């Protein structure tokens, strides 16, 4: 028979014990005891980019593609593509975006979701392009917090070893 797991009054100690042995008892200030167990979960999704696929295939070829409304009276250009126009609902066509733009806004993340903690600090930036009606969210590399400002000219860089992810493109200060 298994022994009763150890008891802790600090929840932090409970968490450490779960990492070590998978079970612990937490005793709260009123003396109530709760059994706490480690409960792992992981899954590999079969994720289709579906109608967004040409964008991600484009990145792998070193092309930054947006979408443009096909309706002659609209012709709205989206930096982050969508297969139907948000303004009028008509289908869009693929267009090449400029590979140079400006910072519309920016931040430096010193923390992040668990999946990205090891990459901190990293910069996030919203890029604006001439002649394009919406923005693109991206990482900004080769620059630190004190270099960055709204309006800063930037240019796109493509990953020579694409992972078929939005991270296949990033921006750097324009040289």
Sheet strands (E) in the chain? 7-8, 23-27, 33-37, 65-69, 77-78, 92-96, 100-109, 122-128, 136-140, 153-158, 169-173
Note whether 91 binds another protein by CB under 8 A. no
Cα torsion 111, 113, 115, 118 to 10°: value is 10
Note whether 83 binds another protein by CB under 8 A. no
Q: Which is nearer to another protein, 3 or 43 (CB)?
A: 43
Note whether 95 binds another protein by CB under 8 A. no
**Which region, judged by CB under 8 A, interacts with another protein, from 8-16, 67-75, 94-102, 154-162?**
8-16
Strand pairing report for 33-37 and 23-27? antiparallel
Which member of 3, 37, 46, 115 binds another protein (CB under 8 A)?
115
Interface with another protein (CB under 8 A)? 11, 14-15, 26, 28, 30, 32, 34, 36, 39, 41, 47, 49, 52, 56, 78-80, 82, 86, 104-117, 119, 122, 124-126, 133-139, 145, 149-151, 165-167
């Amino acid at each position: 028979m298994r022994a009763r797991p150890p008891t802790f009054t600090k929840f932090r100690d409970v968490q450490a014990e779960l990492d070590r042995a998978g079970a612990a008892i937490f005793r709260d200030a009123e003396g109530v005891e709760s059994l706490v167990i480690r409960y792992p979960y992981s899954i590999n999704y079969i994720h289709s980019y579906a109608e967004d696929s040409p964008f991600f295939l484009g990145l792998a070829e070193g092309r930054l593609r947006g979408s443009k409304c096909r309706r002659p009276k609209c012709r709205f250009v989206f930096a982050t593509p969508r297969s139907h126009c948000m303004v009028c609902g008509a289908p869009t066509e693929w267009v090449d975006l400029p590979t140079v733009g400006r910072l519309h806004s920016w931040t430096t993340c010193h923390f992040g979701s668990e999946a990205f903690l090891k990459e901190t600090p990293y910069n996030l930036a919203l890029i604006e392009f001439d002649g394009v009606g919406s923005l693109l969210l991206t990482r900004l590399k080769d620059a630190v917090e004190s270099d960055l400002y709204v309006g800063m000219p930037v240019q796109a860089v493509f990953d020579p070893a694409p992972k078929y992810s939005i991270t296949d493109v990033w921006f750097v200060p324009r040289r």
